[in-house]
A and B are shown apart, each in its own frame.
Chain A
């Protein structure tokens, strides 16, 4: 997917390891127009300092190898080439990368939890590579918290017939800024399940992307976000179908409440001419709970072959349905409780997809906490 190899789609204009290949964004570019650049703390224009720290600790399943490696490690930057300036800045600036490996045919006996904790001042950069070798299976939790200005890239390399399930929780302190790319590269018949939960932080811009190297790949990306007053939570998805007979499904749902709560969801899917038999669907729903909150939702589907198994998208943003509330109230349930039940119901089907019970309970209680704010 470098500059030289493929005709570029309008949805995926360039990628490079070199920061200088990307102009400093002005906010007028399609890919930056929703992001308040003034709140990026200089991540986009080279003025961000270093010296910050995000501590990375890994509690790995016994079957999983954990290494901390230098920039020159050959496994780094293999699956993903930065696709925007902040991503390239993160790639140019990180000092140590974490590499997790699930060996061939190994089945991890418990989730591997990577805890990332910001410790205040300064800017920090990170890089994580997760290699799931052929026929192996693992569950991974990325747990982001604390206070930080943090830009990072994550590469999920999922081998033939392998399965990786990832829960990425962004529950930063109120002042944190996090710009992140998660790229999953799926081998033949590989399975990828991503569950993104974004709750805390001043500005979070997370860009999950998926590519396939062989037929049979199956990617399911789910997201849940709850935006409070003043928060900017942005998710930019890109699925590139370049080989035949792969599947992708994207479902993101968010609730917004309070002044200047801003959610952005971009869902780009490209089905290239070679990708016959592709089956893809993407959906975004926003529940706007108060005045003063805003949701931007932009699905883009670019289809370059007529031979698809299925391709569709849906996007809707709306308020709580008065009829739902009336029905519950007509059975004696007070308004606040009715509202809580309906919002809970809005997220319920997503929450069921989190297979790690401990994480599901934690996300559930985080959503409950948001509802009582």
Chain B
């Protein structure tokens, strides 16, 4: 059982304040969707929690199971059980997917995986996400299409098995087939089967899904929906809130904060 607690988080880029007091708690077994218009600060929230150097925390706290993530280096946060699937995964020249994943698994587990076991996990993971096995020997994200990059992010999610995953616009730029494959991966991570039912007692993981569109929520059903505007959460509700946004858009919220 894990808990990510975000308390009164204020974040700036340079001297411009982007997040103005975010409060949110994600527990394992829960999926939270954060929805909002472009420029509302959704991605800032994701990158600030992960520790990207561009963002300065001006006040507030982020605790993972009681430990202050903001005191940790980027890699320590990941090893503590945090994962950020990026909207724009970075191309790393000369570092193969296989080498990258093995290094990441070694770091997160604290010991190198057995070669045979790693090869098997990698193959199964790639098969499940319909990734061509040849990608294992390609340089990380280099020359990947948008959809291939997103599948590769979800492959990492499934192999690294974090406690809490933040998925930053994982659905953007995906066609319907890719969206389905990626959503299935997220659901496996959540411990759900193909029809959205828990496998056994489900997985001990929490998901914070950041998206602009409701489309992915048809595949990855959220327990809670938060509307983000002007750097804070302006409305919260259940899945029905997403339906409302689908019909009415964000106009009401952007006007209110402008």
Contacts and interface: CB of A to CB of B under 8 A. Distances in A.
Q: Do A and B come from one complex?
A: yes
Contact of B75 (A322, A324, A334, A349): A334
Contact of A331 (B51, B52, B53, B107): B107
B207 interface: no
Given A331-B104, A341-B103, A346 B75 contact: no
B9 interface: no
Contact of A346 (B93, B99, B100): B93
Contacts of A330: 50-51, 74-75, 77-78, 84, 86
A338 B86 contact: no
Contact of A348 (B51, B73, B94): B94
A346 B93 CA distance: 7
A326 B53 CA distance: 8
B7 interface: no
A334 B53 contact: no
A326 B103 contact: no
Contact of B73 (A335, A342, A345): A335
B94 A345 contact: yes
Interface residues of A, number: 23
B20 interface: no
A337 B160 CA distance: 17
A323 B90 contact: yes
Contact of A338 (B52, B53, B75): B75
B78 A331 contact: yes
B39 to A, nearest CB: 21
A345 B96 CA distance: 8
B104 A349 contact: no
A347 interface: yes
B94 A329 contact: no
B92 A337 contact: no
A333 B75 contact: yes
Interface in A341-360: 341-342, 344-349
B160 A331 contact: yes
B138 interface: no
Contacts of A349: 93-94
B79 interface: yes
B27 to A, nearest CB: 22
A329 B104 CA distance: 9
A328 interface: yes
A327 interface: yes
Contact of A337 (B93, B107, B156): B107
Contact of A326 (B52, B94, B108, B140): B52
B202 interface: no
A36 interface: no
Chain A interface mostly? helix
B241 interface: no
B92 A328 contact: yes
Nearest to B94: A345
B107 A345 contact: no
Contact of B95 (A332, A335, A344): A344
Contact of A324 (B74, B79, B86, B90): B90
B137 to A, nearest CB: 12
Contacts of A348: 93-95
B74 A341 contact: no
B139 interface: yes
Contacts of B74: 326, 329-330
B89 interface: yes
A349 B100 CA distance: 16
Given A324-B90, A331-B156, A341 B79 contact: no
Interface in B110-165: 139-140, 156, 160
17 contacts: A324-B92, A326-B53, A327-B89, A327-B92, A330-B50, A330-B74, A330-B77, A331-B78, A331-B156, A332-B160, A341-B92, A341-B99, A342-B94, A342-B95, A345-B93, A345-B95, A346-B93
Given A324-B92, A333-B107, 18 more contacts: A323-B90, A328-B104, A329-B73, A329-B75, A330-B75, A330-B78, A331-B103, A331-B108, A332-B78, A333-B75, A333-B104, A337-B107, A338-B75, A344-B95, A345-B93, A347-B94, A348-B93, A349-B94
Interface of A: 322-324, 326-335, 337-338, 341-342, 344-349
Counting from the closest, the 4 A-B pairs by CB-CB distance are A345-B94, A348-B94, A332-B78, A331-B104
